[in-house]
Structure 1
Protein backbone atom coordinates (compact mmCIF):
# COMPACT_ATOMS: atom_id res chain seq x y z
CA UNK A 1 0.00 0.00 0.00
CA UNK A 2 2.89 2.40 0.62
CA UNK A 3 3.85 2.23 -3.08
CA UNK A 4 0.25 3.12 -3.97
CA UNK A 5 0.27 5.98 -1.47
CA UNK A 6 3.37 7.51 -3.09
CA UNK A 7 1.61 8.23 -6.37
CA UNK A 8 -2.19 8.09 -5.83
CA UNK A 9 -2.72 11.49 -4.21
CA UNK A 10 -0.11 13.36 -6.30
CA UNK A 11 -1.65 11.91 -9.48
CA UNK A 12 -5.13 12.93 -8.32
CA UNK A 13 -3.99 16.47 -7.54
CA UNK A 14 -2.02 16.86 -10.80
CA UNK A 15 -4.85 15.58 -12.97
CA UNK A 16 -7.41 17.66 -11.07
CA UNK A 17 -5.34 20.74 -11.90
CA UNK A 18 -5.13 19.79 -15.58
CA UNK A 19 -8.85 18.93 -15.76
CA UNK A 20 -9.88 22.08 -13.91
CA UNK A 21 -7.83 24.49 -16.01
CA UNK A 22 -8.62 22.88 -19.37
CA UNK A 23 -12.30 22.54 -18.40
CA UNK A 24 -12.53 26.25 -17.60
CA UNK A 25 -10.77 27.13 -20.88
CA UNK A 26 -13.16 24.89 -22.80
CA UNK A 27 -16.16 26.40 -21.01
CA UNK A 28 -15.15 29.90 -22.14
CA UNK A 29 -14.12 28.65 -25.62
CA UNK A 30 -10.52 29.86 -25.28
CA UNK A 31 -8.95 26.41 -25.42
CA UNK A 32 -6.59 25.05 -28.02
CA UNK A 33 -6.83 21.65 -29.65
CA UNK A 34 -4.14 20.40 -27.28
CA UNK A 35 -6.19 21.56 -24.27
CA UNK A 36 -9.02 19.27 -25.37
CA UNK A 37 -6.64 16.33 -25.86
CA UNK A 38 -5.09 16.97 -22.44
CA UNK A 39 -8.55 17.22 -20.86
CA UNK A 40 -9.65 13.90 -22.35
CA UNK A 41 -6.49 11.96 -21.44
CA UNK A 42 -6.11 13.58 -18.02
CA UNK A 43 -9.63 12.35 -17.30
CA UNK A 44 -8.46 8.76 -17.66
CA UNK A 45 -5.44 9.40 -15.46
CA UNK A 46 -7.62 11.17 -12.91
CA UNK A 47 -9.94 8.17 -12.79
CA UNK A 48 -6.94 5.95 -12.05
CA UNK A 49 -5.68 8.31 -9.34
CA UNK A 50 -9.10 8.68 -7.71
CA UNK A 51 -9.68 4.93 -7.68
CA UNK A 52 -6.27 4.36 -6.08
CA UNK A 53 -6.96 7.17 -3.60
CA UNK A 54 -10.32 5.59 -2.81
CA UNK A 55 -8.70 2.21 -2.14
CA UNK A 56 -6.22 3.84 0.22
CA UNK A 57 -8.91 5.82 2.05
CA UNK A 58 -11.83 3.40 1.99
CA UNK A 59 -12.60 3.58 5.72
CA UNK A 60 -12.83 7.40 5.86
CA UNK A 61 -14.81 7.40 2.61
CA UNK A 62 -17.30 4.83 3.87
CA UNK A 63 -17.82 7.02 6.95
CA UNK A 64 -19.05 9.79 4.62
CA UNK A 65 -21.78 7.47 3.39
CA UNK A 66 -23.29 7.57 6.90
CA UNK A 67 -23.64 11.37 6.86
CA UNK A 68 -26.90 12.70 5.36
CA UNK A 69 -25.37 15.81 3.81
CA UNK A 70 -22.54 13.84 2.20
CA UNK A 71 -24.99 11.25 0.89
CA UNK A 72 -27.16 14.04 -0.48
CA UNK A 73 -24.27 15.76 -2.29
CA UNK A 74 -23.00 12.48 -3.75
CA UNK A 75 -26.55 11.45 -4.68
CA UNK A 76 -27.09 14.80 -6.41
CA UNK A 77 -23.89 14.22 -8.38
CA UNK A 78 -25.13 10.79 -9.48
CA UNK A 79 -28.51 12.28 -10.43
CA UNK A 80 -26.95 15.11 -12.47
CA UNK A 81 -24.74 12.58 -14.26
CA UNK A 82 -27.75 10.38 -15.03
CA UNK A 83 -29.73 13.36 -16.33
CA UNK A 84 -26.86 14.34 -18.62
CA UNK A 85 -27.66 11.23 -20.70
CA UNK A 86 -31.26 12.34 -21.21
CA UNK A 87 -31.85 13.01 -24.92
CA UNK A 88 -32.57 16.66 -25.63
CA UNK A 89 -34.47 17.34 -28.83
CA UNK A 90 -33.94 20.58 -30.68
CA UNK A 91 -31.23 21.68 -28.27
CA UNK A 92 -27.58 21.01 -28.02
CA UNK A 93 -24.58 22.90 -29.15
CA UNK A 94 -24.90 24.81 -32.43
CA UNK A 95 -21.41 23.60 -33.29
CA UNK A 96 -22.53 20.00 -32.80
CA UNK A 97 -25.57 20.62 -35.00
CA UNK A 98 -23.38 22.11 -37.75
CA UNK A 99 -20.97 19.19 -37.53
CA UNK A 100 -23.84 16.70 -37.80
CA UNK A 101 -25.19 18.55 -40.84
CA UNK A 102 -21.75 18.51 -42.46
CA UNK A 103 -21.40 14.78 -41.75
CA UNK A 104 -24.64 14.18 -43.65
CA UNK A 105 -23.71 16.51 -46.53
CA UNK A 106 -21.95 15.61 -49.72
CA UNK A 107 -18.33 16.55 -50.24
CA UNK A 108 -19.29 19.16 -52.87
CA UNK A 109 -21.29 21.10 -50.28
CA UNK A 110 -18.44 21.09 -47.76
CA UNK A 111 -15.98 22.17 -50.44
CA UNK A 112 -18.33 25.02 -51.43
CA UNK A 113 -18.55 26.11 -47.78
CA UNK A 114 -14.76 26.21 -47.67
CA UNK A 115 -14.79 28.79 -50.47
CA UNK A 116 -12.99 26.58 -52.97
CA UNK A 117 -13.96 25.44 -56.43
CA UNK A 118 -15.16 21.84 -56.56
CA UNK A 119 -12.22 20.60 -58.64
CA UNK A 120 -9.68 22.30 -56.38
CA UNK A 121 -11.26 20.78 -53.28
CA UNK A 122 -11.34 17.32 -54.85
CA UNK A 123 -7.65 17.71 -55.76
CA UNK A 124 -6.84 18.67 -52.15
CA UNK A 125 -8.63 15.55 -50.94
CA UNK A 126 -6.91 13.36 -53.54
CA UNK A 127 -3.50 14.75 -52.52
CA UNK A 128 -4.31 13.63 -48.97
CA UNK A 129 -5.17 10.13 -50.20
CA UNK A 130 -8.95 10.61 -50.03
CA UNK A 131 -10.76 9.68 -53.22
CA UNK A 132 -14.13 11.35 -53.64
CA UNK A 133 -16.42 12.85 -56.24
CA UNK A 134 -19.18 15.44 -55.94
CA UNK A 135 -21.73 12.81 -54.84
CA UNK A 136 -19.61 11.25 -52.07
CA UNK A 137 -20.98 12.05 -48.64
CA UNK A 138 -18.73 13.06 -45.77
CA UNK A 139 -19.92 9.94 -43.93
CA UNK A 140 -18.79 7.76 -46.84
CA UNK A 141 -15.47 9.58 -47.15
CA UNK A 142 -14.66 9.42 -43.44
CA UNK A 143 -16.27 6.11 -42.57
CA UNK A 144 -18.40 8.00 -40.07
CA UNK A 145 -15.37 8.73 -37.85
CA UNK A 146 -15.67 12.18 -36.27
CA UNK A 147 -11.93 12.61 -35.91
CA UNK A 148 -11.40 11.92 -39.61
CA UNK A 149 -14.28 14.26 -40.43
CA UNK A 150 -12.57 17.03 -38.47
CA UNK A 151 -9.29 16.36 -40.32
CA UNK A 152 -11.04 16.57 -43.70
CA UNK A 153 -12.76 19.83 -42.73
CA UNK A 154 -9.46 21.23 -41.43
CA UNK A 155 -7.76 20.18 -44.69
CA UNK A 156 -10.39 21.85 -46.86
CA UNK A 157 -10.72 25.03 -44.82
CA UNK A 158 -6.94 25.49 -44.46
CA UNK A 159 -6.64 26.22 -48.17
Structure 2
Protein backbone atom coordinates (compact mmCIF):
# COMPACT_ATOMS: atom_id res chain seq x y z
CA UNK A 1 0.00 0.00 0.00
CA UNK A 2 2.74 2.56 0.81
CA UNK A 3 4.25 1.95 -2.65
CA UNK A 4 0.87 2.71 -4.22
CA UNK A 5 0.56 5.94 -2.21
CA UNK A 6 4.10 6.97 -3.16
CA UNK A 7 3.39 6.27 -6.83
CA UNK A 8 0.30 8.53 -6.85
CA UNK A 9 1.50 11.33 -4.57
CA UNK A 10 3.17 13.47 -7.26
CA UNK A 11 0.41 13.01 -9.88
CA UNK A 12 -2.24 14.00 -7.32
CA UNK A 13 -0.18 17.00 -6.18
CA UNK A 14 0.03 18.05 -9.82
CA UNK A 15 -3.66 17.51 -10.59
CA UNK A 16 -4.95 19.20 -7.45
CA UNK A 17 -2.48 22.06 -7.84
CA UNK A 18 -3.75 22.71 -11.38
CA UNK A 19 -7.34 22.81 -10.05
CA UNK A 20 -6.27 25.13 -7.22
CA UNK A 21 -4.35 27.32 -9.68
CA UNK A 22 -7.26 27.72 -12.09
CA UNK A 23 -9.87 28.24 -9.38
CA UNK A 24 -7.56 30.67 -7.56
CA UNK A 25 -7.07 32.75 -10.72
CA UNK A 26 -10.82 32.79 -11.36
CA UNK A 27 -11.48 33.85 -7.75
CA UNK A 28 -8.84 36.59 -8.01
CA UNK A 29 -10.55 38.04 -11.08
CA UNK A 30 -14.06 37.47 -9.62
CA UNK A 31 -15.19 35.32 -12.53
CA UNK A 32 -16.71 31.90 -12.86
CA UNK A 33 -19.53 30.09 -11.09
CA UNK A 34 -20.22 30.45 -7.39
CA UNK A 35 -19.04 26.88 -6.83
CA UNK A 36 -15.42 27.94 -7.42
CA UNK A 37 -14.92 29.16 -3.85
CA UNK A 38 -15.79 25.85 -2.14
CA UNK A 39 -13.97 23.92 -4.89
CA UNK A 40 -10.85 25.99 -4.24
CA UNK A 41 -11.09 25.67 -0.46
CA UNK A 42 -11.94 21.97 -0.23
CA UNK A 43 -9.63 20.68 -2.93
CA UNK A 44 -6.82 22.76 -1.46
CA UNK A 45 -7.46 20.94 1.81
CA UNK A 46 -7.40 17.59 -0.03
CA UNK A 47 -4.09 18.69 -1.60
CA UNK A 48 -2.44 18.50 1.83
CA UNK A 49 -2.35 14.68 1.90
CA UNK A 50 -0.65 14.13 -1.48
CA UNK A 51 1.69 17.04 -0.70
CA UNK A 52 2.79 15.35 2.54
CA UNK A 53 3.18 12.03 0.70
CA UNK A 54 5.20 13.80 -2.03
CA UNK A 55 7.49 15.29 0.63
CA UNK A 56 7.83 11.92 2.30
CA UNK A 57 8.79 10.25 -0.96
CA UNK A 58 11.25 13.00 -1.94
CA UNK A 59 12.50 13.97 1.53
CA UNK A 60 16.16 13.17 0.93
CA UNK A 61 16.36 15.43 -2.15
CA UNK A 62 14.11 18.06 -0.57
CA UNK A 63 16.14 18.28 2.63
CA UNK A 64 19.23 19.32 0.65
CA UNK A 65 17.57 22.72 0.03
CA UNK A 66 17.48 23.68 3.72
CA UNK A 67 21.17 24.45 4.29
CA UNK A 68 21.25 26.71 1.22
CA UNK A 69 20.34 30.38 0.94
CA UNK A 70 17.59 30.06 -1.72
CA UNK A 71 15.31 28.11 0.67
CA UNK A 72 15.85 30.59 3.52
CA UNK A 73 15.23 33.52 1.15
CA UNK A 74 12.12 31.91 -0.33
CA UNK A 75 10.66 31.12 3.09
CA UNK A 76 11.37 34.65 4.40
CA UNK A 77 9.91 36.35 1.30
CA UNK A 78 6.83 34.10 1.53
CA UNK A 79 6.33 34.91 5.22
CA UNK A 80 6.71 38.67 4.65
CA UNK A 81 4.34 38.56 1.66
CA UNK A 82 1.77 36.74 3.79
CA UNK A 83 2.14 39.14 6.71
CA UNK A 84 1.63 42.11 4.38
CA UNK A 85 -2.01 41.04 4.00
CA UNK A 86 -2.53 41.28 7.75
CA UNK A 87 -1.24 44.85 8.09
CA UNK A 88 -4.05 47.38 7.60
CA UNK A 89 -3.42 49.86 4.78
CA UNK A 90 -3.20 53.51 5.81
CA UNK A 91 -3.62 52.67 9.48
CA UNK A 92 -7.26 51.68 8.93
CA UNK A 93 -8.74 48.64 10.53
CA UNK A 94 -10.05 46.37 7.80
CA UNK A 95 -12.24 43.33 7.84
CA UNK A 96 -11.73 40.46 5.45
CA UNK A 97 -14.38 38.36 3.87
CA UNK A 98 -17.12 39.02 1.38
CA UNK A 99 -17.78 42.67 0.51
CA UNK A 100 -21.35 42.51 1.81
CA UNK A 101 -19.97 41.70 5.26
CA UNK A 102 -17.56 44.63 5.10
CA UNK A 103 -20.44 46.86 3.97
CA UNK A 104 -22.66 45.67 6.82
CA UNK A 105 -19.81 46.20 9.27
CA UNK A 106 -19.35 49.78 8.01
CA UNK A 107 -23.08 50.55 8.18
CA UNK A 108 -23.43 49.08 11.65
CA UNK A 109 -20.24 50.67 12.94
CA UNK A 110 -21.00 54.15 11.65
CA UNK A 111 -24.76 54.21 11.23
CA UNK A 112 -27.24 55.33 13.85
CA UNK A 113 -30.69 53.95 14.57
CA UNK A 114 -32.08 57.04 12.83
CA UNK A 115 -29.99 56.49 9.69
CA UNK A 116 -30.57 52.74 9.32
CA UNK A 117 -34.28 52.72 10.15
CA UNK A 118 -35.42 53.79 6.64
CA UNK A 119 -33.11 51.23 5.04
CA UNK A 120 -34.69 48.49 7.14
CA UNK A 121 -38.21 49.76 6.51
CA UNK A 122 -38.65 50.44 10.22
CA UNK A 123 -39.28 53.47 12.34
CA UNK A 124 -36.55 54.81 14.61
CA UNK A 125 -38.63 53.68 17.59
CA UNK A 126 -38.79 50.13 16.15
CA UNK A 127 -35.00 50.04 15.73
CA UNK A 128 -34.32 51.28 19.26
CA UNK A 129 -36.95 48.89 20.65
CA UNK A 130 -35.31 45.91 18.91
CA UNK A 131 -31.93 46.89 20.29
CA UNK A 132 -33.29 47.31 23.82
CA UNK A 133 -35.19 44.02 23.60
CA UNK A 134 -31.93 42.31 22.59
CA UNK A 135 -30.27 43.71 25.72
CA UNK A 136 -28.39 46.71 24.39
CA UNK A 137 -27.99 49.57 26.83
CA UNK A 138 -27.52 53.27 26.23
CA UNK A 139 -29.58 53.16 23.02
CA UNK A 140 -30.18 56.56 21.44
CA UNK A 141 -31.48 57.49 17.97
CA UNK A 142 -28.39 59.53 17.08
CA UNK A 143 -25.74 57.32 18.71
CA UNK A 144 -23.64 55.17 16.33
CA UNK A 145 -24.61 51.51 16.42
CA UNK A 146 -20.97 50.53 16.93
CA UNK A 147 -20.84 52.71 20.05
CA UNK A 148 -24.10 51.18 21.30
CA UNK A 149 -22.60 47.70 20.84
CA UNK A 150 -19.36 48.68 22.63
CA UNK A 151 -21.23 50.31 25.52
CA UNK A 152 -23.19 47.08 25.96
CA UNK A 153 -20.11 44.86 25.75
CA UNK A 154 -21.43 43.32 22.55
CA UNK A 155 -20.31 43.03 18.95
CA UNK A 156 -21.63 44.63 15.79
CA UNK A 157 -22.69 41.14 14.71
CA UNK A 158 -25.05 41.16 17.71
CA UNK A 159 -26.47 44.48 16.46
CA UNK A 160 -27.04 42.94 13.02
CA UNK A 161 -28.81 39.97 14.58
CA UNK A 162 -31.05 42.22 16.66
CA UNK A 163 -31.95 44.45 13.73
CA UNK A 164 -32.54 41.59 11.31
CA UNK A 165 -35.14 40.11 13.63
CA UNK A 166 -33.09 36.91 13.75
CA UNK A 167 -34.38 34.32 16.25
CA UNK A 168 -30.83 34.15 17.65
CA UNK A 169 -31.30 37.76 18.74
CA UNK A 170 -34.22 36.83 20.96
CA UNK A 171 -33.06 36.25 24.48
CA UNK A 172 -29.49 37.21 23.61
CA UNK A 173 -29.27 39.33 26.74
CA UNK A 174 -25.89 39.02 28.37
- Provide the TM-score with structure 1 as the length reference: 0.60
The answer to which structure, 1 or 2, has the higher relative contact order (CA under 8 A, 6+ apart) is: 1
| Paired residue total | 126
Aligned to 1:138: 160
Listed as ranges, the gaps of 5+ residues in structure 1 are 119-132, 145-159
Moved over 6 A (4+): 102-106
Q: 1:52 to 1:23 in 2, by over 3 A?
A: same
| Matches of 1:77 and 1:8, distance apart in 2 | 24
Shift of 1:91: 6.4
Shift of 1:42: 1.2
Q: 2:103 aligns with which of 90, 98, 105?
A: 98
- Between 1:96-105 and 1:18-27, the stretch displaced more is 96-105
Aligned to 2:85: 84
| Matches of 1:91 and 1:62, distance apart in 2 | 40
User: 8 Å contact 1:19–1:39 — kept in the other structure?
Assistant: yes
Shift of 1:37: 0.7
Aligned to 2:20: 19
- Alignment map for 1:51-70 (pairs within 5 Å): 51-70=52-71
Listed as ranges, the gaps of 5+ residues in structure 2 are 132-158, 170-174
Aligned to 1:49: 50
Secondary structure at the aligned position of 1:32 is classed as coil
| Matches of 1:101 and 1:77, distance apart in 2 | 31
Shift of 1:9: 1.2
Secondary structure at the aligned position of 1:64 is classed as coil
- Provide the TM-score with structure 2 as the length reference: 0.56
Shift of 1:103: 7.2
Q: 1:24 to 1:4 in 2, by over 3 A?
A: same
Q: 1:54 to 1:99 in 2, by over 3 A?
A: farther
Structure of greater Rg: 2
Aligned to 2:39: 38
Compare the two structures and name the one with the higher helix fraction: 1
Q: 1:66 to 1:111 in 2, by over 3 A?
A: farther
> What is the root-mean-square deviation of aligned Cα atoms in Å?
3.5
